[in-house]
């Protein structure tokens, strides 16, 4: 398959789509790769347990072979105070089977030195499966901004460790474009695009709801998208992450994904930069 654009489709564009379905969706809208959610964001949250579901894993591998779409990133591995890298052996093995490139990592441990050590251990294990580990800074977590993510990645000192830049979180966390420009290019494996209002919600609950449930299409809001993506290393891969629990089901997930791709093309151009 020849893709129509270089973008990757994030799982949140169509969260109800199981991995075989979202691979097909990515192919239908011309995306090169797709993210899949193998672990829940919160207790009881929707995810797709390919580690335990051998039948769905086979279906997903067949869809990848049929479409030529690649698995881009795996969501969401949360590092908390109880983190034990051995518990994720199956996750890492399945990631390698799928040919995935990156793991989205969230930081939920208030002890920064312990979290850094946990992240280093994860990176070491993931490297054996050809995966990078990318810390996503989010204002309500224990990695709230760019500086905190940099401290973890620098402290872990692993060649496959990285900082994941999400446009919405960047606009909400108080970090600067200068901090983005200063990132070691070796740490920037990909970035996520969406849009939203400025200023954003003024409560933690509001920030979480907006991030997980109701983002805007690129170009619809007030985020400094062009400036942000120009500040990233040249050629940074881009994942489209635009969840909308109100608009996507109403218009249909394929139509929503097509619109998200079209608006990303308008903002960034294809190919980017």
Quick check: is 156 in a domain?
yes
Q: How many CA atoms lie within 13 A of 230 on its CB side?
A: 5
Sign of CA dihedral 150, 218, 189, 269: negative
Find residue 36's DSSP bridge partners. 74
CATH number of the domain enclosing 204: 3.20.20.150
Which band of pLDDT confidence, cut at 50, 70 and 90, is reported for residue 4? low
Q: What is the mean pLDDT of the chain?
A: 95
Quick check: is 3 in a domain?
no
Quick check: is 2 in a domain?
no
Quick check: is 273 in a domain?
no
Quick check: is 21 in a domain?
yes
Q: What is the pLDDT of residue 269?
A: 85
What are 93-150's pLDDT values in tens digits?
999 999 999 999 999 999 999 999 999 999 999 999 999 999 999 999 999 999 999 9
Q: What is the pLDDT of residue 138?
A: 97
Quick check: is 1 in a domain?
no
Q: What is the pLDDT of residue 1?
A: 43
What are 244-255's pLDDT values in tens digits?
999 999 999 999
pLDDT at 3 > cutoff 60: no
Nearest Cα neighbor of 196 from 180, 178, 172, 160 is: 172
Please tell me the distance from the alpha carbon of residue 200 to that of residue 90, in angstroms, as a whole number. Answer: 38
Range of the domain at 96: 8-268
User: What percentage of the chain reaches a pLDDT higher than 70?
Assistant: 97
H or E segment and range at residue 259: helix 253-268
Q: What is the pLDDT of residue 71?
A: 98
pLDDT at 2 > cutoff 70: no
Q: What is the pLDDT of residue 6?
A: 85
Which band of pLDDT confidence, cut at 50, 70 and 90, is reported for residue 51? very high
Exposure string of 130-155, with b = 16+ CB inside 10 Å and e = fewer, is ebbbbbbbbbebbbbbbebbbbbbeb
Q: Which long-range contacts (CB under 8 A, 24 or more apart) does 83-92 make?
A: 83/109, 83/115, 83/118, 83/122, 85/118, 85/121, 85/122, 85/125, 88/122, 88/125, 89/125, 90/51, 90/52, 91/38, 91/39, 91/51, 92/125, 92/126, 92/128, 92/129, 92/131
pLDDT at 273 > cutoff 70: no
Per the CB < 8 A criterion, the answer to whether 48 and 36 are in contact is: yes
Domain count, the chain: 1
How much is the CA Rg of the chain, to the nearest whole Å? 17
pLDDT at 192 > cutoff 80: yes
What are 161-191's pLDDT values in tens digits?
999 999 999 999 999 999 999 999 999 999 9
């Amino acid at each position: 398959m020849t893709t129509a654009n270089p973008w990757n489709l994030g799982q949140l564009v169509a969260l109800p789509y199981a991995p075989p379905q979202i691979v097909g969706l990515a192919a239908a809208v011309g995306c090169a790769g797709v993210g899949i959610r193998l672990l829940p964001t919160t207790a009881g949250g929707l995810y797709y347990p390919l580690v335990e579901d051998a039948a769905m894993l086979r279906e997903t591998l067949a869809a990848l072979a049929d479409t030529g779409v690649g698995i881009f990133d795996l969501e969401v591995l949360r590092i908390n105070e109880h983190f034990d890298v051995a518990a994720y052996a199956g996750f890492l093995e399945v990631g390698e089977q799928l040919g995935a490139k990156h793991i989205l990592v969230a930081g939920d441990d208030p002890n920064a030195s312990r979290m850094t050590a946990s992240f280093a251990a994860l990176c070491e294990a993931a490297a054996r499966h050809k995966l990078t580990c990318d810390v996503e800074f989010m204002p309500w977590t224990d990695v709230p901004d760019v500086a905190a993510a940099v401290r973890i990645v620098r402290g872990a000192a692993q060649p496959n460790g990285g900082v994941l830049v999400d446009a919405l979180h960047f606009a909400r966390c108080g970090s600067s474009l200068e901090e983005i420009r200063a990132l070691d290019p070796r740490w920037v494996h990909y970035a996520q695009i969406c849009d939203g209002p400025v200023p954003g919600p003024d409560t933690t609950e509001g920030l979480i709801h907006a991030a997980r449930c109701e983002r805007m299409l690129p170009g619809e809001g007030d985020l400094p998208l062009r400036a942000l993506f120009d500040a990233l290393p040249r050629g940074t891969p881009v994942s489209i992450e635009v969840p909308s629990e109100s608009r996507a089901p109403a218009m249909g997930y394929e139509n929503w994904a097509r619109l998200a791709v079209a608006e990303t093309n308008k903002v960034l151009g294809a190919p980017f930069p």
